[in-house]
Amino acid sequence: MKSILLAFNIKHSSAISLWVLMYPLFVFFVYADDIRGSEINSRLGWFFLLIALSYVIRNKTLFGVLLAPFFIAGIVDLFYTSTFQNLFEANLVRVLTDTDSSESYEFLSVYINWLNLTIITLYFIVFVYLIRVLRLLPPVKLKEKIVIVLGSIMFVVAVQQIMFHERFKDVLPGSFGQITDGLNKYFVVKREMENRPILLSEYTENVSLQKSESPQTYIVVIGESAVRDHHSLYGYPRQTNPMLEKLKDELVLFDDVISPYAVTYLSLSHILTQMNLENGMKFTDSLSLVGLAGKAGFKTWWLSNQPPYEGTTLSLSLVADEVKYVIDSGKTDSDLLPEIKKALVDEAKHKVIFVHLRGSHMTYEKRYPADYDYFVDSSGIKIYTDKPTEKQIKVVNAYDNSIRYSDAVVSEIIDNLKKEEKVAGLVYFSDHGEEVYDYKDFIGHELKRVTPEMFEIPFFVWKSKSYSNNFPVKVESMITNKSKPILADDFFHFGLCFMGIKTSLYQPKLSSCDNRFAPKTRKVAGYTYEDGQLK
């Protein structure tokens, strides 16, 4: 059994099977905070199963094809675990499917480093060597035949668990199981999302509009990866909001709002629908603010500089009257402005325009034109260390420049909305925050190794004089509630109130636009958020 268990013979299939399955496991033990017991069991099971299959197949090319998904998954595991000190999760598949090629390139350019590159290179070199010297021999000894029998039993059990119980994550090792599980769930959700227009059409309860005799226009601007603490509107020492600060007296500035998740697809699926962290509803069964606005008599637009996702935002946009994605190589958020102006001059009496910015999505320096390269040194920089490196200074400068550029774009949207001279309003929030060396030596956002900055978002409202005159109680309520703790997963109810959409789905206690608003304990990513900390 030594040749099987210890792989003394490097030409034996046990050697390459051991390397493909156990080298990533070793890296897990070194870098990951937590490893499931099923992870170890599945790798041991597949180790014996692959050896058994090598005896049966005895074809080197076919055996290499069989090893390929395990090897590729190993590369994913090694990169993710050595970079983020966590195991790859099924939920990340939605992030990958909602990501285009340019975003993937940007992600790799930020996170690839000498450590993960060295770990992956070693994995690859040894794999290539072992596959070259591999010799597949027939089973001769009794113990080899016993391995075939045990492997056959394991194979039957594995197929049964996957086909009838969908236990991909327990049966398949590492990211192989997580990706398979994630893709299975993704396609289920994708099919369900195709029913969103049907869900809306089947909702027959009365939905109406307050003050429907007066023309009304509302704009909902969704930012991207914008953390509240990098906005001078909220006291950041750098002047990242020069234009919005000129409008500060016209804004209701909510200063304690957090996102329910630190990734876009999960945060927006909660923010823009009935679903929140408490009610247990599924995204596919939840009516959206976009759809109900249409039911209330608004003409609706979805204008986006994000990729046309096969996911949350695409699903939400399906029920809008007009949909436009302007994203293209080299385009910035200002390319949305002509589309917004077209919507504003549309002859519809009542309008709601949803605008999804590219905002401060990584890589930050690609989010603004060259003439917005305003911050170029360490002046006013505020991060976790008193001695920032040149790289950290460069990254923070690019991030702050992207915030400053979003400031200009949102300000121009408000200026265009002012020209309407009617009941009009704009609300701006970010899908989630971003860690930019504020709390620790890390940039970006993720699902598990979170920091407070990944959830803390800007949230403000601009309203016309006509809006204030028609809805004085709402304005007073927003001002009263602007410093109360708010979790953005209830924005659905804020939006209904702000736009005057009357429906039985509205819950006043969940809306910070209502004088009956009642703050709730905010729990995100398994933590309670309180006083700027995750506890």
d(C-alpha 456, C-alpha 256), whole Å: 8
d(C-alpha 39, C-alpha 486), whole Å: 38
Domain range list for the chain? 2-191, 216-290+346-534
d(C-alpha 34, C-alpha 147), whole Å: 31
Q: Specify the pLDDT at position 3.
A: 41
Q: Which residue has the higher pLDDT, 11 or 351?
A: 351
d(C-alpha 252, C-alpha 425), whole Å: 11
- Using a pLDDT cut of 70, give the percent of the chain over it: 93
d(C-alpha 492, C-alpha 511), whole Å: 8
Indicate the range of 5-9, 57-61, 518-522 predicted with least confidence: 5-9
Give me the residues paired with residue 299 across strands: 351
Q: What is the pLDDT of residues 117-139, one digit of tens each?
A: 999 999 999 999 999 999 888 88
Contact 368, 405 (CB under 8 A): yes
Mean of the per-residue pLDDT values of the chain: 89
DSSP 459: E
d(C-alpha 212, C-alpha 215), whole Å: 7
Q: What's CA 131's distance to the chain center, in Å?
A: 38
CATH number of 216-290+346-534: 3.40.720.10
372 pLDDT more than 80? yes
